Amino acid sequence: MNTTAAAQLERWQRFRTNRNKALATRHGWLTLTSFQWLESRTAGVDLAPGLWSTDGTTATLTAAAQDGLTLVETGEPVDGTIAASLANEESLMWVQFGGADGQQVVVELAMRAGRYAIRTRDSGSPVLTEFDGVPTFDYDPDLVIEAAYEAYPEPVAIPIGTANPLVDGVHYSVGEVVFRLPGIDHEYRLHAEEEKLGALTITFHDGTNGESTDEWRKVSTPRSRVDAAGKATVVLDFNRAINYPSAFTPFGTCPMPVKNNSLDARIEAGEKQPAFGD
């Protein structure tokens, strides 16, 4: 292995280590144990104490001190009625309970598709406690590809589905990433969303989905570079393709790819289907 290839492999290995650490946080995506819509009628919910409801604009929780609920932000006990309001797509790690420290389970309040829901995040979930890393394909330097980036004058909002059939999503496409794959003679054009500091995220289908990989994955690129001729390029490294949270839990509302983001090729790089539940 030459020096450049060895350095690329080492960087990828560091990326994988950091990725697995990020997934294995105490109340991260591997701890979701429920997704429940709140109703106008005050009622109990599964896997959490208290009585919950919403009037459409505000979510309300009523609990007694003996329920053991405390506010995540301050640790203050919940004894009576509290309320919170969110904008669509916002989330709030609201209350917690259980375990020796009273923090085993966090109840997340979320606004999705204009409706309030809660998700329970249990740090005792076997999906987390038995986690030993996401399986991946071997590193393939041929799937580190320089691609052209053609930005749109303005972002384009494209309706999409999500991992939850009751929640619709929107993909804000800022442009297209244009490239060719090794051994394939035609060009691909995939829609991209802009993330922090100008990075791009591409959500895509490929021929491995439903076999060795989840139903869709995503890959991010650094900020585009512009050469002397004014052409913008990005490095598209499919070895860094990762799963959305919905690959690990049925309680995610992760965005599906836009219609045109499907590759008629097998991208045997990046993360595979998690082995949980096998």
Q: Are 256 and 203 within 8 A, CB to CB? A: yes
- pLDDT beyond 90 at 2: no
Backbone angles phi, psi at 127, to 5 degrees: -60, -35
Average pLDDT over residues 7-36: 96
Burial 20-35 (b: 16+ CB within 10 A, else e): eeebbeebbbbbbbbb
Q: How far is CA 50 from CA 66, 103, 126, 213, 255, in A?
A: 10, 16, 25, 39, 31
DSSP letter at 238? G
Rounded-to-5 percentages of helix, strand, coil across the chain: 15, 40, 45
Q: Calculate the average pLDDT of the chain.
A: 95
Q: What is the pLDDT of residue 1?
A: 60
Q: Are 270 and 219 within 8 A, CB to CB? A: yes
| SS3 call for 92 | strand
Average pLDDT over residues 9-14: 95
Give the Cα separation of 167 and 183 in Å (integer): 38
Q: Are 67 and 102 within 8 A, CB to CB? A: no
| SS3 call for 182 | coil
Q: What is the pLDDT of residue 196?
A: 85
In whole angstroms, how large is the CA radius of gyration of the chain? 21
- pLDDT beyond 70 at 278: no
Average pLDDT over residues 130-155: 96
Amino acid identity of 69?
L
Q: Are 225 and 232 within 8 A, CB to CB? A: yes
Q: HSE on the CB side for 26, CA within 13 Å?
A: 7
**Share above pLDDT 70 across residues of the chain, in percent, rounded to a whole number:** 98
What is the token pair recorded at 48? 């959490």
Helices marked H in the chain: 3-23, 126-129
- pLDDT beyond 90 at 224: no
Tens digit of each residue's pLDDT (9 = 90 or more) over 29-76: 999 999 999 999 999 999 999 999 999 999 999 999 999 999 999 999
Residue 151 burial (10 A CB sphere; 0-12, 13-18, 19+) = middle
Tens digit of each residue's pLDDT (9 = 90 or more) over 160-176: 999 999 999 999 999 99
- pLDDT beyond 60 at 277: no
**Ramachandran quadrant class, 18 (left: phi over 0; alpha: psi -120 to 50; beta: rest):** alpha
Which H or E run includes 119? strand 115-122
Please name the residue that has the structure tokens 């109990």: 44
Tens digit of each residue's pLDDT (9 = 90 or more) over 91-113: 999 999 999 999 999 999 999 99
Q: What is the pLDDT of residue 276?
A: 60
